């Protein structure tokens, strides 16, 4: 029992270290640097220590320092309790979703089976959606409690956008659930060992729609009407400063990691390497003994998984710096008139194909 507890604690620590400790800060730098490259600028090179800029990596520390030392401002007439609570409501769900995200398969080492997921829930995929829908309140309440019209408009846009795209997003993954016959993320991941059984080949349309809807759920360009700088100052977080603003910022980047992870698990073979099954991989390292072979394969799989996740984060960033912002009515039209009917059609076609193949 103590060993299980220790393993779980290590997994929790690992996930927190990767998401909050590594991805969230490094992505702020990646986004600056990548946008600079795409726009032919030099970018992010001002912060230096004794003349060293380290490609602008010190900006991460400078940001952190700035956020910690800035005045925490609560506007007049704002609801103090809700104003303070909402960044927390936005950030916590973003981290919580990783409780059910598997970052590797099952490995047996020294008589101990290690399942690389913190909680192997049988309704894992729905858990992600449920938790993500809670985060909506962080943004909605933030705008309302600020006592500012820009913020209020921002959070109303958030609310309507979230409702619209949650429906489409929920329906697009039904196809995946039908193909793999499970809502358990570890089962869906394990079912994609064969390259041609990857979700992308089973549900190409499903992947495109899911990716679009999830970017809309994360409110990033081109779906960033809730925080449109040119119209609403900064939308729902206009009245936030210091670390509270930082929490919204961090939530957005962690959600990018979540999207990358879910897309990888559902559509791109999770932790599997194309044309290289786990059994072959283990037999390649057999000369080290069974336990060590398992350990090395586990490390490779974790590396492959986060490599894929990084790739999809990069794709999201390229989209962000390529497309202009959609108008509000275009966003609504895309959600209700294109994604919703298409995802329903996708379910029907998937059902017919599955019936025909059986």
Which of 24, 265 has the CB closer to other proteins? Answer: 265
Which of 166, 252 has the CB closer to other proteins? Answer: 166
225 neighbors 328 (Cβ within 8 angstroms):
yes
What three-state secondary structure class fits 273?
A: strand
Peptide bond between residue 222 and the one before it cis (omega within 30 degrees of 0) = yes
> In angstroms, what is the minimal distance from the CB of 70 to other proteins?
27
Instruction: Kindly give the interhelix angle for 290-322 and 242-267, rounded to the nearest 10 degrees.
Output: 120
Residue-by-residue DSSP string for 133-202: HHHHHHHHHHHHHTT-HHHHHHHHHHHHHHHHHHHHHHHHHHHHHHHHT---HHHHHHTT-SGGGSHHHH
Residues 158, 217: Cα–Cα separation, whole Å? 9
> In angstroms, what is the minimal distance from the CB of 210 to other proteins?
16
Which of 134, 344 has the CB closer to other proteins? Answer: 134
Which of 48, 122 has the CB closer to other proteins? Answer: 122
HSE-CB at 174 with a 13 A cutoff on CA atoms is 18
> In angstroms, what is the minimal distance from the CB of 319 to other proteins?
25
Contacting positions for other proteins (CB under 8 A)? 79, 82, 121-123, 126-127, 129-131, 133-134, 136-137, 140-141, 143-145, 152, 155-156, 159-160, 162-163, 166, 170, 183
Residues 270, 217: Cα–Cα separation, whole Å? 22
> In angstroms, what is the minimal distance from the CB of 160 to other proteins?
6
Residue-by-residue DSSP string for 298-349: HHHHHHHHHHHHHHHHHHHHHHHHHSPPPPHHHHHHIIIIIIHHHHHHHHHH
Which of 297, 340 has the CB closer to other proteins? Answer: 340
Which of 67, 85 has the CB closer to other proteins? Answer: 85
> In angstroms, what is the minimal distance from the CB of 137 to other proteins?
6
> In angstroms, what is the minimal distance from the CB of 351 to other proteins?
14
């Amino acid at each position: 029992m103590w060993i299980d507890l220790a393993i779980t604690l290590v997994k929790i620590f690992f996930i927190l270290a990767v998401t909050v400790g590594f991805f969230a800060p490094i992505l702020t730098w990646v986004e600056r640097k990548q946008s600079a490259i795409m726009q032919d600028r030099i970018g992010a090179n001002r912060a230096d220590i004794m003349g060293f800029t380290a490609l602008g990596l010190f900006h991460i520390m400078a940001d952190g320092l700035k956020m910690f030392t800035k005045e925490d401002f609560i506007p007049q007439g704002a609801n103090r309790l809700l104003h303070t609570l909402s960044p927390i409501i936005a950030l916590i769900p973003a981290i919580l979703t990783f409780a059910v995200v598997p970052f590797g398969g099952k490995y047996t080492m020294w008589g101990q089976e290690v399942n690389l997921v913190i909680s192997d829930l049988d309704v894992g995929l729905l858990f992600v959606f449920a938790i993500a829908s809670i985060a909506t309140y962080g943004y909605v309440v933030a705008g309302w409690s600020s006592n500012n019209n820009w913020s209020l408009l921002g959070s109303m846009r958030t609310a309507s956008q979230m409702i619209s795209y949650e429906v489409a997003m929920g329906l697009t993954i039904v196809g995946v659930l039908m193909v793999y016959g499970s809502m358990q993320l570890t089962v869906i991941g394990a079912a994609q060992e064969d390259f041609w059984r990857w979700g992308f080949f089973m549900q190409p349309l499903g992947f495109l729609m899911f990716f679009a809807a999830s970017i809309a759920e994360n409110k990033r360009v081109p779906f960033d009407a809730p925080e449109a700088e040119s119209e609403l100052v900064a939308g729902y977080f206009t009245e936030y400063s210091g670390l509270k603003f930082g929490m919204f910022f961090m939530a957005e980047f962690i959600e990018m990691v979540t999207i990358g992870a879910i897309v990888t698990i559902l559509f791109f073979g999770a932790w599997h390497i194309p044309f290289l099954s786990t059994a072959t991989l283990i037999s390649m390292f057999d000369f080290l003994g069974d336990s060590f072979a398992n350990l090395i394969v586990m490390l490779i799989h974790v590396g492959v998984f986060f490599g894929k996740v990084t790739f999809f984060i990069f794709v999201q960033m390229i989209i962000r710096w390529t497309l202009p912002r959609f108008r509000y009515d275009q966003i609504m039209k895309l959600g209700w008139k294109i994604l919703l009917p298409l995802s329903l059609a996708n379910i029907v076609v998937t059902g017919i194909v599955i019936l025909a193949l059986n």
